[in-house]
Structure 1
Amino acid sequence: MNSEQHNYCFCTLALRKKYRLLTQQLASDLAKYSPGKSFVVLTDKPADFNNSPNVLAFKHNQRGILHCYHDKSLVMELALSRFNAAIYIDADTTILSSLPDTLTWKPGITAGHCENLVEHVTRYTPERLAHIQKVASHLNIKLQDSPYIGESLFIIARDEGREVEYLKYWAKIGRYLELRGIHAGSGNAMGLAAAKIGWSVAQDGWAEVRNITKHLDASYTNKQNSWDLWKRKLGYHYRLNKARLVALKDFEFFYR
């Protein structure tokens, strides 16, 4: 393990008011239990974090067509441009106790939930398998050896620039799947990207973080008024049409 990976940060997405409020609380938890560590946040309202001194807040408008799950690749890219390793933690998470002072991770990706991608998709969302097979074929990925990676809590550590390549592939694969109506399950794209660049999924150090967190899963309590729903519908169609146009620049990959 690289001792420089002690220079790590936390990061998350905070889009919409509910998640900004949750992230403010999470920032407070991190300041208490992991003092001195930075919290990189992509958010639509950076000013909401002016009173959170451990937060590095950056303006971000949702890129994902329906959801922002694949936008996680963007906040990780930003975090890893500044730190040697980054822990992605969902905004709807609470910290329960202090983190160990000696956390380090192997170069590449570390996650707790990892299983064979084909088996995972066949078990839970078999209707997606044909599209996943197609994108794997486009990128010459050995699908049978590809993992599914749990996306709510994971760590990426610098790996001589391969982390940048990994995040670009994740974003590209995620966009391919979105354009085919697959808006959830970012762990599929994460696993395909890992297979593409030859990463195996490490687990050392993941449990130490997981054991002091509690994931609330606020997505199940997401109530919106008619104005919010209209804005989201409008935003969806705008992002969809924009993504279709941008994808034309790589026609062979996205449309063949």
Structure 2
Amino acid sequence: MDTTNNNFCFCTLALGKKYRLLAKQLSQDLEKHSPGTFLVVGTEKPNFFQSCPNVYAFPFKQKGILHCYHDKRFVLEKALSQYPTAIAIDADTRIIDKVPTHIEWMPGFTGCSRNIIEHVKRRNLERLPTLEILANKLNLSLENVSWVGESLMIVSKDNGKETEFFQQWGKIGDYLELKGIHAGSGNAIGLAAAKIGWTVYAQGWNELRNVTQHLDAAHKKKSESLWDKIERRLGYHYRLNRKRLQALNDFNFYYG
């Protein structure tokens, strides 16, 4: 009997050996707690997941200038090309209990949210002027925009509006990175959702969060060889200059 779950899938980025190992562990958790559910993985080495029957891995290299936080949109887009609902989850997350299957996810975006101004004032006040300028460029009132938690979020198809959402997320993410704001992708996601008129729903998110445990591996320092450091630096400058050139196509938005 076919027990494949065709209603939703999970998706994640797995760039680098540490995150590939974590994603493989996540796939094993899924096999145990949500049999039949697939994990879509964007990674430099898809063959690493050949032994994982519940993983669909596709080739992907970092596109974000310094970090890959905004690159999550690409795995979400890939996942939504195959499923009506995609659950984006950080690779450094464990699934510790049965994944709920009864939740009917709303079209659009579901996740943890709070007012973006309150969030930024609490966490990164220095970013507020840039976000105010950006909101003005987008014809948005920042008071009506939400920050969203990016480590666990759900996107469901919404008659094609999800494509517009990913486009806006990319544009906004590039703007922030070119202004030197490389983290806090939840701000960009919230702005993109507001720009296309999406409400950030909460129904079902807590149920899903309660069966996960985020390990936050990004804050654990790793040792790097000299070559790794050189390669990382070269990659950063390549991506930075490429984004600068691309931004010239919309000069007023990025530089005006």
Work out whether residues 43 and 57 of structure 1, in 8 Å CA contact, stay in contact via their aligned partners in 2: yes
Offset at residue 138 of structure 1 (A): 1.3
Partner of 1:116: 115
Work out whether residues 6 and 102 of structure 1, in 8 Å CA contact, stay in contact via their aligned partners in 2: no
Equivalences for 1:1-256 in 2 at 5 Å? 7-112=7-112, 114-226=113-225, 227-256=227-256
Over residues 59-109 of structure 1, what are the superposed CA-to-partner deviations in whole Å (9 max), with x where a residue is unaligned?
A: 111000000000011111111121100001100011111112312211111
Offset at residue 42 of structure 1 (A): 0.5
Q: Secondary structure at the match of 2:143?
A: helix
The TM-score, its normalising length taken from structure 2, stands at: 0.95
Work out whether residues 6 and 83 of structure 2, in 8 Å CA contact, stay in contact via their aligned partners in 1: no
Q: Whole-Å Cα distance in 2 between the matches of residues 246 and 52 of structure 1?
A: 37
Q: Secondary structure at the match of 2:250?
A: helix
Q: List runs of 5+ in structure 1 lacking aligned partners.
A: none
Work out whether residues 70 and 171 of structure 1, in 8 Å CA contact, stay in contact via their aligned partners in 2: yes
Aligned-partner residue type, residue 119 of structure 2: H
Q: Whole-Å Cα distance in 2 between the matches of residues 222 and 19 of structure 1?
A: 13
Q: Secondary structure at the match of 1:94?
A: strand
Work out whether residues 108 and 156 of structure 1, in 8 Å CA contact, stay in contact via their aligned partners in 2: yes
RMSD: 1.3
Q: Whole-Å Cα distance in 2 between the matches of residues 212 and 76 of structure 1?
A: 21
Work out whether residues 34 and 99 of structure 1, in 8 Å CA contact, stay in contact via their aligned partners in 2: yes
Offset at residue 39 of structure 1 (A): 0.8
Offset at residue 222 of structure 1 (A): 3.1
Q: Whole-Å Cα distance in 1 between the matches of residues 78 and 140 of structure 2?
A: 26
Across the two proteins, how many residue pairs are aligned to each other? 251
Q: Whole-Å Cα distance in 1 between the matches of residues 153 and 127 of structure 2?
A: 23
Q: Whole-Å Cα distance in 2 between the matches of residues 93 and 133 of structure 1?
A: 33
Over residues 148-191 of structure 1, what are the superposed CA-to-partner deviations in whole Å (9 max), with x where a residue is unaligned?
A: 00100010111111111111111110010000100000000011
Q: Secondary structure at the match of 1:148?
A: strand
Over residues 94-133 of structure 1, what are the superposed CA-to-partner deviations in whole Å (9 max), with x where a residue is unaligned?
A: 1111112312211111112x11111211222121111111
Q: List runs of 5+ in structure 2 lacking aligned partners.
A: none
Q: Whole-Å Cα distance in 1 between the matches of residues 222 and 96 of structure 2?
A: 27
Offset at residue 6 of structure 1 (A): 6.5
Work out whether residues 142 and 195 of structure 1, in 8 Å CA contact, stay in contact via their aligned partners in 2: no
The TM-score, its normalising length taken from structure 1, stands at: 0.95
Q: Secondary structure at the match of 2:200?
A: coil
Q: Whole-Å Cα distance in 1 between the matches of residues 103 and 45 of structure 2?
A: 31
Q: Secondary structure at the match of 1:204?
A: coil
Q: Whole-Å Cα distance in 2 between the matches of residues 115 and 122 of structure 1?
A: 12
